[in-house]
Amino acid sequence: MDTIQINHLTKHYRGKDTPALNDVSLTISAGMFGLLGKNGAGKSTLMRILTTLDQATAGSIQMCGIPITQRAAIRAQVGYLPQNFGFYPTMTVSDALTYLAILAHVPARDQQRRIARLLAQVNLTKQARTKVKALSGGMRQRLGIAQALVNQPKVLIVDEPTAGLDPEERIRFRNLLAEFAQERIVLLSTHIVSDIEATTNRIGVLDQGHLLFTGTTAQLQTQAAGHVFASSLSVAELSAFKARYEISEQIVQGDTAHIRFLATAAMPGASTVAPTLEEAYLYLQSRPTRQGVRQ
């Protein structure tokens, strides 16, 4: 029963011609699920609908058996870390968590214990008396994840949580998420492929409101197999080449550029290589969509 079922979900914002979500159908089961997409792909829109903060224009959602229209029941079992999470700068970390625990209907007698445990889990115990404004970006995101977990949700929804974190914090944060995904559904959105690579193999790719792909990372890479090549050429040729092909990697050594690029068919002088996840993602987005050929 612990799945999120999204059926033909469409969202039109008023005053916009193209829908932010266009007939999205998706089933997400327990564990971590990565939602990949560029800026404006519709990730936050989907997450806002899943957290009852916005309404779909059409379509339906069942979350662990409960229809999304039953807002109170949904809110009780969802934890949400919004994009750009913030809190009152002058409140202390522990006051902030207490405040949100009360809003999340955590029984008074459990609050202290639960907050202490969460702070330990996200490694903020020492910062309990620190004001929110004094936290680093990584610490603030960890506070964000702690508050999202305060009601022990069955579903944890985190919207681009690693944006703006340094590599160390980013890795630490991903590990935290993976830990929490052991006992619940975790839906993670990002536009950074390495976030996905490090944490899950189950993904969905959104692009301009369309769900381009859903499946495992291996399946995505298989789709791109035979379309990624490696070659070397002189730096002088590089710009002409760039105009025709999408280059995924270029390393210049002296006059020579070692490149990897995407192409529909093999060509002389280039060797076929196994696509990385990033290249598979690029390949997916460069293909014609259902709407027609992309420029």
Partner 1 sequence: MKLFWLEFKRFTTSLAFVLYTLVTVGFILLNVWPMIDRGLATAPVNPTARYDLITTTDFHALKTNALDQLKEEHADDAYVTYPFGFAKNVTLTAGAQVKVEQALNQARQADTRRGLEKALGPVDQLLGGHSDYQAANLQRFAVRPMTLAEARRDHTLIMRKDRITGTYARLFADIASIIVCILPTIVIIAYCYADRRAQIRPTMQAKAMGTPKWLVTRYAASVAGLLIPVLMTALLLLGRVILLYPGAALDYWAFFKAAGFWVLPTLLVSTAVGFLSDALFSNFTGFALQIGWWLITMMIGAHQVIGNYGWLLIPRHNSLHNVSFFYAHYSELAINRLGYTLLAIVFLGLTMVLMNLQREGKYRGFHLRPARR
Ligand X SMILES: Nc1ncnc2c1ncn2[C@@H]1O[C@H](COP(=O)(O)OP(=O)(O)OP(=O)(O)O)[C@@H](O)[C@H]1O
Identify which of residues 43 and 154 has a Cβ nearer to Mg ion in the complex: 43
Q: Which does 41 bind (CB under 5 to 8 A by kind): ligand X, Mg ion, partner 1, none?
A: ligand X
Q: How many residues bind ligand X (CB under 6 A)?
A: 14
Choosing among ligand X, partner 1, Mg ion, none, which partner's interface includes residue 180 (Cβ < 5 to 8 Å by kind)? Answer: none
Contact pattern from residue 80 through residue 119 relative to ligand X, giving x for each residue in contact according to CB under 6 A and a dash for the rest:
---x------------------------------------
Pull the structure tokens for residue 193: 């492929």
- The rounded distance, in Å, linking the Cα atoms of 54 and 13 is 10
Among ligand X, partner 1, Mg ion, none, partner that 71 touches (CB below 5 to 8 angstroms by kind): partner 1
Binding mask 40-79 for partner 1 (x = CB under 8 A): --------xx-xxxxx---------------xx--xx-x-
Span 30-89, contacts to Mg ion by CB under 5 A: 43-44, 83
- Of residues 101-130, those binding partner 1 (CB under 8 A): 102-105, 108
* Part in contact with ligand X (CB under 6 A); list of ranges 33-41, 68-76, 120-128, 178-186: 33-41
Tell me, letter by letter, the H, E, C secondary structure of the chain.
CCEEEEEEEEECCCCCCCCCEEEEEEEEECEEEEEEECCCCCHHHHHHHHCCCCCCCEEEEEECCEECCCHHHHHHHEEEECCCCCCCCCCEHHHHHHHHHHHCCCCHHHHHHHHHHHHHHCCCHHHCCCEHHHCCHHHHHHHHHHHHCCCCCCEEEEECCCCCCCHHHHHHHHHHHHHHCCCCEEEEEECCHHHHHCCCCEEEEEECCEEEEEEEHHHHHHHHCCCEEEEEEEHHHHHHHHHHCEEEEEEEECCEEEEEEECCCCCCCCEECCCCHHHHHHHHHHCCECCECCC
Question: Segment contacting partner 1 (CB under 8 A): 95-103, 190-198, 202-210, 282-290?
Answer: 95-103
**String of contacts with ligand X for each residue 41-80, x by CB under 6 A:** xxxxx-----------------------------------
CA atoms within 13 A on the CB side of 75: 13
Among positions 165-224, residues that touch ligand X (CB under 6 A) are 191
The smaller minimum CB distance to partner 1, of residues 97 and 228, is found at: 97
Interface residue list for ligand X (CB under 6 A): 13, 16, 20, 37, 39-45, 83, 160, 191
Interface residue list for partner 1 (CB under 8 A): 48-49, 51-55, 71-72, 75-76, 78, 80-82, 84-91, 95, 98-100, 102-105, 108, 144, 147, 151
